[in-house]
């Protein structure tokens, strides 16, 4: 069985391994390309002046920061476990995971830090999901957004992935953001691969992701119970168990 992985290439390796453990072959179709912001190294010192902590809402933000700065002493507050893992790999000394979404991250920061301790630097891309700055501003925190990269939508489906879809070889697809889901809808239509989706199950990280997939007639759409990769994989496991039971029952 094959599964479509739509994450940026930089984020896909862990998911590919997770699929392999489950006996699934990953078909890579990155729908966002990560482009570093050219002047990051020059801008960061001013943004970090007097800061008390770093906020990361993606592993891409971690990697972009680590490539542009050698500073690792500031405590890191990460939106989820995958982002926290990326921060630990990058040798940040103190890493805390909210294990959820930006609302959970804002709650964790407010519980652990005081507004008087200094500004918070949010290492982010050109597009951000959720209003992290607004939530923390309401708690009295000053948030400095450091745009370190751009996530640019792909202009076409990967050729090998489009061919696999057209041949009906892909049984499921994994989606992690509304933007990625909307990009797939547009590119699948352009590649004339929408009919293949009728035999596929889409697994979405959140209801917002599922809503972006609504223009496509899928075999089914499953939504993770929590906005984490672990929960999405648990949703996948439940689907695989159901299909195994159906096969066993004849």
Summarize pLDDT for 49-73 with one digit per residue, the tens. 999 999 999 999 999 999 999 999 9
CA distance 78 to 21: 26
**Biggest distance spanned by C-alpha atoms of the chain:** 65
Q: HEC states along 177-221?
A: CHHHHHHHHHHHHHCCCHHHHHHCEEEECCHHHHHHCCCCCCCEE
Residue 204 pLDDT: 98
Per-residue pLDDT of 87-103, as tens digits, reads 999 999 999 999 988 99
- Whether 2-31+154-248 and 35-152 share one fold: the answer is yes
Averaged over 159-171, what is the pLDDT?
A: 95
- In the prediction, which pLDDT does 248 show? 85
The residue behind tokens 């050219």 is 38
pLDDT at 118 over 70: yes
Give the tens place of pLDDT for each residue, 3-59.
999 998 888 888 999 999 999 999 999 999 999 998 889 999 999 999 999 999 999
Cα(19)–Cα(234) distance, integer angstroms: 12
Q: Is the pLDDT of residue 161 over 70?
A: yes
> What is the helix (H) or strand (E) element at residue 243, kind and residue range?
helix 229-248
Q: Which of 173, 176, 184 is nearest to 219 (CA)?
A: 173
Q: Binning pLDDT at 50, 70 and 90, where does residue 127 land?
A: confident
Q: Quick one: pLDDT at residue 154?
A: 95
pLDDT tens by residue, 130-147: 789 999 999 999 999 999
What does the pLDDT read at residue 208?
Answer: 94
Q: Is the pLDDT of residue 128 over 90?
A: no
Helices (H) and strands (E) in the chain, counts: 10, 11
pLDDT bracket for residue 125 (50, 70, 90): confident
Q: What confidence score (pLDDT) does residue 10 get?
A: 82
Q: In what order do the strands lie in the sheet with 119-125?
A: 32-36, 143-153, 119-125, 51-56, 76-78, 95-97
35-152: which CATH topology?
Rossmann fold (3.40.50)
Neighbouring C-beta atoms of residue 166, cutoff 10 Å: 15
The count of other CB atoms within 10 Å of the CB of residue 17 is: 11
Q: Give me the helix-helix angle, 13-21 and 229-248, nearest 10°.
A: 30
Query: Per mean pLDDT, which range of 79-83, 142-146, 173-177 is the poorest?
Result: 79-83
Indicate the helix (H) or strand (E) that contains 60.
helix 59-68
Q: Where residue 120 falls among pLDDT bands split at 50, 70, 90?
A: very high
> pLDDT tens digit string along 194-250?
999 999 999 999 999 999 999 999 999 999 998 888 899 999 999 999 999 988 886
Per-residue confidence (pLDDT) for residue 228, from 0 to 100:
86
Does domain 2-31+154-248 fall into CATH 3.10.450.50? no
Question: Minimal CA–CA distance to 99: which of 87, 113, 81, 83?
Answer: 81
pLDDT (0 to 100) of residue 250: 67
Burial annotation 126-149 (CB, 10 A radius, 16+ → b, else e): eebbbebbebbeeeebebbebbbb
**Domain map (residue ranges) of the chain:** 2-31+154-248, 35-152
């Amino acid at each position: 069985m094959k599964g479509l992985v739509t994450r940026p290439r930089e984020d896909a390796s862990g998911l590919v391994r997770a699929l392999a453990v489950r006996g699934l072959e990953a078909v890579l179709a990155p729908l966002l390309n990560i482009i570093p912001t050219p002047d990051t190294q020059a801008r960061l010192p001013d943004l970090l002046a007097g800061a008390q902590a770093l906020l990361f809402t993606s592993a891409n933000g971690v990697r972009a920061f680590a490539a542009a700065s050698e500073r690792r002493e500031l405590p890191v507050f990460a939106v989820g476990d995958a982002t926290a893992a990326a921060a630990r790999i990058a040798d940040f000394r103190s890493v805390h995971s909210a294990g959820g979404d930006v609302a959970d991250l804002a709650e964790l920061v407010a519980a652990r830090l005081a507004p008087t301790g200094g500004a918070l630097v949010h290492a982010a891309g050109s597009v951000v999901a959720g209003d992290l700055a607004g939530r923390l501003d309401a708690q009295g925190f000053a948030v400095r957004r450091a745009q370190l990269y751009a996530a640019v939508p792909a202009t076409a489906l990967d050729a090998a992935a489009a061919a696999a879809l057209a041949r009906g070889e892909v049984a499921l697809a994994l989606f992690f953001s509304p933007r990625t889901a909307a990009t797939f809808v547009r590119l699948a239509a352009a590649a004339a691969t929408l009919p293949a989706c009728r035999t596929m199950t889409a697994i979405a990280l959140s209801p917002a992701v599922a809503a972006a997939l609504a223009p496509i007639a899928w075999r089914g759409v499953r939504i993770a119970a929590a906005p984490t990769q672990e929960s999405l994989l648990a949703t996948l496991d439940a689907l695989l168990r159901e299909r195994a039971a159906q096969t066993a029952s004849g």
